[in-house]
Amino acid sequence: MIGLIGRKLGMTRIFDDKGNAIPVTVIELGPNQITGLRTSEDNGYAATCLGFEQKRDKLVNMPQKGHYAKLGITAPRVEREFRDMLIEGKKIGDSVKCDVFTVGDLVRITGTSKGRGFAGVIKRHGFSGPVDSHGTHEFFRHGGAIGAHTFPGRVWKGLRMPGRMGADRVTVSNLKVIRVDVDANLIMVKGAVPGPSKGIVLVRK
């Protein structure tokens, strides 16, 4: 599995040869620095650790400074591990660019969805709410009764109720790569990607 760490820049649209508008998300993808290599012999599994951007020196603690100094690299701002990803000829400290993806590839993108805070059932679960007439007063956005009559005499686990909404890890699969700009470290994928603009995302082939 090939993957990279990137940053969602926002959405726009482009036009194909026939003049059709295609909604795309622009992602700044890499360059990623290889910060570690896992092998089946030493670690029991194969993986590649990648780092994205550079962490400010004042935010790097002493153990991290010693670890990255031993590897001969700078501390990354974001670091992730990609299982079963081995790139031939690459070693720790080398860069991986977005040219590992090509136009037409289907990718799986993981990000953190926008946090909505405490939300009611209408916004959180799409409830319709009570009717607006026929005696309705005082409550207009309630979820209704939550009991289960005499039996079992309690509220069922998992009942859809108000609560914290968003800020969850979300993965969207089968997004098509529309354009790749290696010089600018940008790719464009068709459709929407989880998270806000400037949010960190993982893109895997």
Q: Would you kindly state where each structural domain of the chain is located, as residue ranges?
A: 3-204
pLDDT band with cut points at 50, 70 and 90 for residue 133: confident
pLDDT band with cut points at 50, 70 and 90 for residue 80: very high
Nearest Cα to Cα of residue 161 among 176, 173, 144, 177: 144
* pLDDT recorded at residue 151: 84
Cα 194–196–201 angle (5° rounding)? 55
Nearest Cα to Cα of residue 56 among 86, 76, 72: 76
For β-strands 76-83 and 21-29, DSSP reports them as: unpaired
CATH architecture of 3-204: Beta Barrel (2.40)
Q: Is the previous residue joined to 130 through a cis bond, with omega within 30 degrees of 0?
A: no
pLDDT (average), residues 68-97: 89
pLDDT (average), residues 30-53: 91
Say if residue 91's pLDDT is above 90.
no
Copy the structure tokens of residue 50.
């990648």
In this prediction the pTM is 0.84
* pLDDT recorded at residue 102: 93
Question: Which tens digits make up the pLDDT trace of 144-173?
Answer: 888 877 888 888 899 999 999 999 999 999
Q: What's the DSSP call for residue 84?
A: T
